[in-house]
Amino acid sequence: MVLESMKEEVNIAPELAIGVEIYRHNMNHKPIHFSMLLEIFKDIYCRKTVNRALDKLFDLCMVDAEWKELDGLWVRDLYISGSAYKEYFKKASEELK
């Protein structure tokens, strides 16, 4: 589920786009991990951009992860950490519909 507005507006920061996508998966109680992000944003961002954006979100403590088994594979399931960041990405998600 790529944000439709992102296809039109390439100038959205990748950190914001990725954070919003993680938030949306979290709110729907669906797992999200790096490989899924690559698949979701394959037409918008390259692997390096996704990796750097995710690193920034980790460095800012906006995103955290825990190891989970998914379809027989162990992956780092990403989630928004902290209620303030959840509120931030909620507002951004509503504006980027």
In CATH terms, the fold of domain 4-95 is Arc Repressor Mutant, subunit A (1.10.10)
Domains of the chain, by residue range, sit at 4-95
> Distance of CA 91 to CAs 2, 16, 23, 49, 88, Å?
17, 11, 11, 23, 5
Low-confidence ranges of the chain (pLDDT < 50): none
pLDDT tens per residue across span 9-24: 557 899 999 999 999 9
pLDDT at 79: 98
Which helix H or strand E contains 80, and what residues bound it?
Answer: strand 73-80
pLDDT at 97: 76
Q: Is the pTM of this model over 0.85?
A: yes
